[in-house]
Amino acid sequence: MNKEKLLVIFMWVTGIGTALVGLGLIAPSEIQQSMFGAPSEDPLALLLARGWSGLVGLMGILLIIGARRPALRTFCLNVSGGSKAMFIGMILIWGQAYVPTLAGALFIDALVVLVAIANQIQGKERR
């Protein structure tokens, strides 16, 4: 299997998983529980969870679009990778208490970041 095909499969799988976080728009307390192990009934926390879920869901949709459209692939991967890098940094700086609960998501997010960087380097080598 060639590198491009592997990249497409990777983007589909991580895109679908990431897009599913968008379900937090309709179930914010449940997404807080499953992702962070800390549900809340505070109205502001629920509002912020909905907003975060929507933005993360959009990153998943971007990964899926990039998997389907070669012309947009690098852009979509870079935007999603940047978002995931920011989330990883935010958790490592301000949310260390949540690292054990988020370990799986942080690992997948780190893979997306590394693949985006590798794709960028490979793209520069092709030019």
Domain total of the chain = 1
What's the domain range around 73? Answer: 3-126
H-state helical runs in the chain: 3-20, 28-36, 43-68, 73-94, 99-126
pLDDT in tens, the chain (127 residues): 899 999 999 999 999 999 999 999 999 999 999 999 998 899 999 999 999 999 999 999 999 999 999 999 999 999 999 999 999 999 999 999 999 999 999 999 999 999 999 999 998 776 5
Q: Flag whether the pTM goes above 0.95.
A: no
Q: Are 35 and 101 in contact (CB under 8 A)?
A: yes
Chain segment 49-63, per-residue pLDDT in tens:
999 999 999 999 999
Per-residue confidence (pLDDT) for residue 85, from 0 to 100: 99
Q: What is the mean pLDDT of the chain?
A: 95
Residue with token string 């990153």: 59
